[in-house]
Amino acid sequence: MTPNPRDITVPDAPAETPAIDARGLSLRFGEVVAVDAVDLHLAPGAVFGLLGPDGAGKSTLIRLLASVLRPDAGDAEVFGHSVSTEPHLVTPRIGYMSQQFSMYPDLTVAENLEFFGTLRGVAPDDRRTRARELLRSMGMTEFAGRQAQYLSGGMKQKLMLAATLMHEPDLLLLDEPTTGVDPVSRREFWRIIASLHQRGKTVLVATPYMDEAERCTHVAFMDSGAIRTSGTPAQVKTLVPGTLYEILAPDPRAALASIAEKPGVISAHLYGEVVRAIAETGGPNAADLEATLAQAGVAVDRVREARVDMEAAFAYLAEFGDGAS
């Protein structure tokens, strides 16, 4: 009943050259294996979410794919060109947005776009029209003359995205573009990614936010340099066996303590003020959980069955990720 998460891979579109085809891609920094034999396949047009905790190796993987770093072992092809032997054929087709702010702080928004557009070989007339169009679509027209250092966090991220879009790349490699950005700007950023997806661009986006994974066509969970699980969000969610229950209680910590060890409860965690417990199929239901809590003398407002979301799926996979359950 519990499928091995490793069995699920993103299906290739066989007729097309994959946007990314990485095999055994590895890079170590001294003793640390930052990226450990990663296989990754992205069909053109995918919005691929790369999830995982800090230090999982997401940034290093993205930099390898951007040909900014060279792999120790393995290779990756981007639209059929090797990142290690033909980087000059890879870079024109990709836009790379680093996690760190990488615009010139003392140059204005327009000057940054002009500069990076020029470096990327965009013709002068196209530079102007594209910069104007990108700023308009991102609602940044009035900030064109502002120095980048005086932009808000969300604006800075949008400027970086605009700069990576100046040469109209087919593949976007975005390294945690929404980290540290306010919720409104995050939503707006994803609206832009959605419109890029509609225009047929391929997007690989690293994020620590599980809710953002729901917006992707495909996701992969990375930990300790390796990809543990990948698939569509729906596929990943089916990896969670049993039923998810949410318990609302005045003292959620006490509620968590009283049900965590109950037979049939596979996993129980606190999310804010809500206890989320996964019960195995045929295990305790909502009424059973309520009874257990009542027995322990813990006051309960409500126990309800919830839909498995990415948050729950990855919490489960982080705990039992290697197929052991």
In sequence order, what DSSP letters do the residues of 267-312 get, joined into one string?
Answer: EEEEETTEEEEEE-TTS--HHHHHHHHHHTT---SEEEEE---HHH
Alpha helices in the chain (DSSP H): 58-65, 87-90, 109-119, 124-137, 153-165, 183-198, 210-213, 233-238, 252-260, 286-295, 310-320
From candidates 42, 47, 103, 244, binder to other proteins by CB under 8 A: 103
| Part in contact with other proteins (CB under 8 A); list of ranges 14-22, 104-112, 128-136, 293-301 | 104-112
85 contributes a contact to other proteins by CB under 8 A: no
106 contributes a contact to other proteins by CB under 8 A: yes
Residue 144: helix, strand or coil by DSSP? coil
105 contributes a contact to other proteins by CB under 8 A: yes
* CB atoms inside a 10 Å sphere around CB 95: 25
From candidates 23, 28, 45, 92, binder to other proteins by CB under 8 A: 92
| Part in contact with other proteins (CB under 8 A); list of ranges 91-99, 195-203, 206-214, 263-271 | 91-99
Task: Return the number of the residue (204 or 279) whose C-beta is nearest other proteins.
Answer: 204
The minimum distance between CB 86 and other proteins, in angstroms, equals 13
Binding-site string for other proteins from residue 219 to residue 258, where x marks contact by CB under 8 A and - marks none: ----------------------------------------
The pairs formed by 53-59 with CB atoms below 8 angstroms and a separation of 24 or more are: 53/208, 53/223, 53/318, 54/208, 56/222, 56/223, 56/224, 56/225, 57/222, 57/224, 57/225, 57/226, 58/175, 58/176, 58/206, 58/222, 59/98, 59/99, 59/175, 59/176, 59/206
100 contributes a contact to other proteins by CB under 8 A: yes
Task: Return the number of the residue (66 or 300) whose C-beta is nearest other proteins.
Answer: 66
56-75 residues in contact with other proteins (CB under 8 A) are 63, 66-68, 70
134-193 residues in contact with other proteins (CB under 8 A) are 147, 163
Amino acid at 319: E
- 210's tokens: 């599980």
CA neighbor of 208 nearest in space, from 62, 322, 64, 314: 314
From candidates 64, 79, 81, 91, binder to other proteins by CB under 8 A: 91
Task: Return the number of the residue (96 or 316) whose C-beta is nearest other proteins.
Answer: 96
| Part in contact with other proteins (CB under 8 A); list of ranges 5-13, 112-120, 215-223, 315-323 | 112-120
Residue 74: helix, strand or coil by DSSP? strand
Task: Return the number of the residue (12 or 106) whose C-beta is nearest other proteins.
Answer: 106
The minimum distance between CB 163 and other proteins, in angstroms, equals 7
Sequence-separated (6 or more) residues with CB below 8 Å from residue 217: 45, 46, 47, 48, 197, 232
Binding-site string for other proteins from residue 117 to residue 136, where x marks contact by CB under 8 A and - marks none: -xxxx---------------
Q: Which residues bind other proteins (CB under 8 A)?
A: 63, 66-68, 70, 88, 91-92, 94, 96, 98, 100-107, 111, 115-116, 118-121, 147, 163
